[in-house]
Chains A and B, each alone.
Chain A
Amino acid sequence: MFQVYLFLFLSCVALFSAMMVLLSKKPIHSVLYLTLTFFALAGHYILLNAQFLAVVHVIVYAGAIMVLFLFTVMLLNLNKEGQFPKTKLVKIIAAIAGGLLFVVLIGSLKSFDLATVSNPAVSQIGLVKNLGKTLFSQYLLPFELSSILFLSAMVGAVMLGKKDKE
């Protein structure tokens, strides 16, 4: 019973803060609401008994990526009005793009079979030991490939950041 209330509370927080990301006027508020959304999602992971995922979610998203976002937004001084053109054409394009995304989400949700989910609270897959075993045996190749992907991204960033020697 307690878990149901917790689930409802976390869902409300997640939905509210996700809405506020779009609705708040200042970019910095949007960033902070996004962080709050991540925390609510981490709470959901814990409810699903996936503690490792929850903590990594907090470390990576809230602790690293959002701090960089905050960093950028603080330095860019985006508070001035009229930096983004809001013509009718832009609005129509945005509405179409958003609508398409909505349709895709609805479609994918419809094809998703809810009945296959067994009781998540008992599932042990989210615990660090099981996750590690799965990751390093069954999914070793994708895991290593993704690490190469990250490495290439890092090399690219260094290349872009390097000064021209001219």
Chain B
Amino acid sequence: MNQDSTKISLTNRSKVVSNKKMSFLESLYLPAIFKGMFVTMSHFFTKKATVQYPEVKRPVSDIYRGMHVLKRDEEGRERCTACGLCALSCPAEAITMIAKERLESEKHLYREEKYAAVYEINMLRCIYCGDCESACPKEAIFLTDRFVPSEVARGNFIYGKDVLLEPKDAPIDVSKRQTPEVLAFKKDKTQLHNK
């Protein structure tokens, strides 16, 4: 026996190519053609794989990493303090921000004394790794199960606060991403960012 017989096959569907002479029926090709037509016809009546996107959404995992959201706290104030850890942790360097000091009159708008006047994510650079979310000490940025819609110009993919910030009256639920493991990790005092 040669070595081929001991070869491991994954599916057992491989066939050895043979160049044997075709029988008369085979050389007519007609049975093969009708078989092929039958195969396509059977596909004609099968259930279609298409998901009609805007109306029907493909189910995604609970911890799906899609478009970002900048969260507000219970009183509707922005949580982000523009520390820059997300930008620093971003492997794709997609995040940029300009920090500004909070005025006395803006206390109801921003939770911390410093806030992000400009916060931009380049959605074309972003690789949706979720490192920004892990890095954030204020639980201000989260990845959600929303998709980034298509655009016709590259510039439109640089999302500012107008898109990223969660609307006051329609909070975006990110509790699904907060699995027990994640919560335990975030409370872990041995980790640097929780100290």
Whether A and B touch (Cβ < 8 Å) is answered with: no
Residues of chain A touching chain B, judged by Cβ–Cβ distance below 8 Å, are: none
